[in-house]
Amino acid sequence: MRIRAVTVFTDDLASLPNLLDRVNAAIDAVTSKYGVRVLTKRVTLPFTGSIEAAREGLKALKSTAARRGYVYSGLSLMEPADPLTVVKLIREYDTYSMIWMPEYDDELANFYTEVLKAMASNSPLDARKLAVLVGDLLETPYYPASVNVKGGVGLSIALLYASDLIGSGANVQRRIREIVGKASEIGEELSELAGVEYRGVDASLSPWGQDSVVKLVEDLGNLRFGELGTMATISLLNRLIGELPFNKTGFNEVMLPLGEDELLKDRFNEGSMDLFKLISYTQVCVAGVDMVPIPTGEVNLVKRLLLDLSELVKVKGRPLGVRLIPARGSSIDLGEDFGRAPVISLANGRVVK
């Protein structure tokens, strides 16, 4: 098990330097004690008021959080803003950003589409930092769909543990409980040492390159991802996570971000997976349309995708995250963490050739 993220939620920028220094000291203590590794440290603010207020907050984050090794989410929006200004803020301040769409809203869908178009022209990889959350609001350590919902100051954690479950077979439930239970102890101790409220663990199964969720699903279901039985295996894992008796926050589901899972990229490239299958899996997992590169010429189809996902949210009764990356050609380099990913057509659901 690795701790994928320690996320600090705050609404008090004045005390942020002291807060982050305390959290850093606590992280040093627990990682030394338990021999675990923290991959990222994050700071999340509440929803943005005015764009000018957001700018001031982002200045403070850049000067305070970044210097202490934290990335941050300081531009969470409930209403449309000027697309070019949003793109500029994301780029200038290197912030993560989230648009909340409780139900399908044409104005918000147009806004997201225009932001993607603006990014496609000069900075397509900045789209990695922007998500739409469709459905009920939740508080999660997972970026970009992270906002300080409760207000005040608190801390939560996310894990990286798919590879630790490979080969568990019939013991997968016990193994999940062991890992998440230990992580919960660490999260509680971390919060106590830092002197902040512990808001729980998001026990979602998420990938990181070769640490593949798809590999776990194939191992557990004895299948090739995309075959019949894939949805049932994902649903089983979701059910086991949902039954965990620990203090949880956020999504707590199987995550299938295309650009972050090397084996999922392979299944798309070989044709056993397509976008429409991935959308269908959102019925039993979260963020089924996450980190998906799409052709720049098909950005106008994003509104139709949001319409469909809004209907799925009504059926599922749980929110879904959407993160798309406008790209030219048949693949795009997503950077050193995740390498190249195939570009997927929104029109036919297949890899662009």
Is residue 352 included in any domain, yes or no? no
The pLDDT of residue 286: 81
The pLDDT tens digits for 160-183 are 999 999 999 999 999 999 999 999
The pLDDT of residue 78: 96
In single-letter form, the type of residue at position 188 comes to E
Is residue 187 scored above 90 in pLDDT? yes
The pLDDT tens digits for 109-156 are 999 999 999 999 889 999 999 999 999 999 999 999 999 999 999 999
Q: Average pLDDT of the chain? A: 96
Number of domains the chain contains? 1
pTM for this prediction? 0.95
Per the structure block, which two tokens stand in for 291? Answer: 């980190």
Which residues fall within 8 angstroms of residue 340, CB to CB, at 6 or more apart? Answer: 265, 331, 332, 333, 334
Helices and strands of the chain, counted as H and E runs: 10, 11
The pLDDT of residue 197: 98
Is residue 350 included in any domain, yes or no? no
The pLDDT tens digits for 265-306 are 999 999 999 999 999 999 998 876 999 999 999 999 999 999
**CATH code of 272's domain:** 3.20.70.20
Which residues fall within 8 angstroms of residue 229, CB to CB, at 6 or more apart? Answer: 221, 223
Residue 173's domain comprises 2-342
Beta bridge partners of 300: none
Pairing of strands 320-327, 289-295: parallel
The pLDDT of residue 182: 97
The pLDDT of residue 11: 96
More confident residue, 335 or 201: 201
Task: Please say whether the beta carbons of 327 and 116 come within 8 A.
Answer: no
The pLDDT of residue 146: 97
The pLDDT tens digits for 248-267 are 999 999 999 999 999 999 99
Is residue 9 included in any domain, yes or no? yes
The pLDDT of residue 336: 80
The pLDDT tens digits for 12-62 are 999 999 999 999 999 999 999 999 999 999 999 999 988 988 999 999 999
**Mean pLDDT of all residues in 182-189:** 98
The pLDDT tens digits for 312-334 are 999 999 999 999 999 999 999 99
The pLDDT of residue 335: 87
